[in-house]
Copies of this chain bind each other. A is one copy, B any other.
Amino acid sequence: MATIYDVARLAGVSPKTVSRVLNADGPVGEKTREAVEKAMRELGYVRSNAARMMRAQKSGIIGLITGAISTRNQPSIQQGLPDLFIVQGIQRALESSGTTLMIADTAGRNERVPHLIDTFLSHRVEGLIYVAEYHQEVSLPALPDDTPLVLANCFDSRGTPAVLPDDRRLQADLVRRLIAAGHRRIAFLALRPDMVAGRLRPFGYRDALAEAGLPFDPLLLAHVDFDQAEIGPQVLWDTIDRMLRLDSPPTVLCCGNDQMAMMVYGILRSMGRKVPDEIGVAGFDNYRVIAETLYPPLTTVELPYTAIGARTGERLLQLIAGESREAGPTLVAGPVYWRASVNERRPENVLAFRNLREENE
């Protein structure tokens, strides 16, 4: 591959002059510039980042580690989609910064992380991002002080900058909207309590109930490990069956995620209950393939992965630039998508709710 020396020779100038043309620093004569540009074109010259990087002590590279399929403890076979959207968001944020992304995946083996970090350090990355597959606590090996790190969709106990979904608020927003639609008995089929989301979202659920002056009924809240191989569907069935037999049964089922909602559709159908007329169903994630394809389309709230990625990228760029920024995690919320799986019981409330939100914007 052609070097700056080749270009210089062909153009009959010194390498330094070519460098000046490349970087548009220092003055260059009109005719000289043209000769150099012609030479570059003829040779198909592309400047070597390695050499440049050595001199400048700046790589323009950011390292990205994804956690991907950690064998067990997966919240669902949703596998990878969060990662993907987060990475796309990161790319969008970095796009205009002139940095390039290097990626590596642990492939489920966390013990590989130190090695991946070393590889990135050897490329002198200017910053590191760790992306987790679902909201969780992680523990990463320490980095040299001068390499900033941002965690996406996860956090650690050292207070490393992190960008997280605002699970509590997202759930509260969804339940608020259900209440605004006139629902009063709202069941919540939460995710397993050993997952962060399974712990945070019930708070949001109760926040919304409390705001509206509705009582919290423990019989309407259940953590359901719906994703277990064999018995998952059965557990889900039993839970729903129990709730529907209550004296005052729920008018809507709030599911831990869209995938669970999809299973709930099947179960309700088997039970002979029509959605949304006999019972409403709401999801969580706005996993579009599910939410938009289900019939009726699923009301849900968006887990804003792309936005999380974008904020992560921005936050890292700030750290690299040395801008201090506040500490603590950045929480990201997203919109409620109101589709046909929940009936509006009181249209007038919904209008009021909309107006209220618009005023708050």
Q: Which residues of B contact A84 (CB under 8 A)?
A: 80-81, 83-84
Contact B77 A91 (CB under 8 A): no
Which chain B residue lies CB-closest to A258?
A: B289
Q: Which residues of B contact A107 (CB under 8 A)?
A: 88, 91-92, 95
Say whether A54 faces chain B, with CB atoms less than 8 Å apart: yes
Determine how close the nearest CB of chain B comes to the CB of A84; give it in whole angstroms.
Answer: 4
Say whether A332 faces chain B, with CB atoms less than 8 Å apart: no
Q: Which residues of B contact A68 (CB under 8 A)?
A: 88
Which of A263, A287, A293 has the most CB atoms of chain B within a 10 A radius of its CB?
A293
Give the distance in Å from the alpha carbon of A119 to the alpha carbon of B49 in the complex.
9
Contact of A289 among B92, B122, B289 (CB under 8 A): B289
The quantity of this chain's copies bound in the complex is: 2
Say whether A235 faces chain B, with CB atoms less than 8 Å apart: no
Contact A100 B119 (CB under 8 A): yes
Which chain B residue lies CB-closest to A69?
A: B88
Contact of A77 among B54, B102, B292 (CB under 8 A): B292
Contact with B along A38-77 (1 / 0, CB 8 A): 0000001011111101100001010000001100000011
Which chain B residue lies CB-closest to A99?
A: B119
Contact B49 A122 (CB under 8 A): yes
Contact of A105 among B91, B233, B287, B292 (CB under 8 A): B91
Contact B101 A103 (CB under 8 A): yes
Contact of A104 among B1, B49, B51, B101 (CB under 8 A): B101
Q: Which residues of B contact A242 (CB under 8 A)?
A: none
Q: Which residues of B contact A228 (CB under 8 A)?
A: none
13 A-B contact pairs sorted by A residue (CB < 8 Å): A1-B146, A49-B124, A50-B123, A77-B288, A77-B289, A77-B293, A80-B81, A80-B85, A83-B84, A101-B103, A233-B295, A262-B294, A289-B289
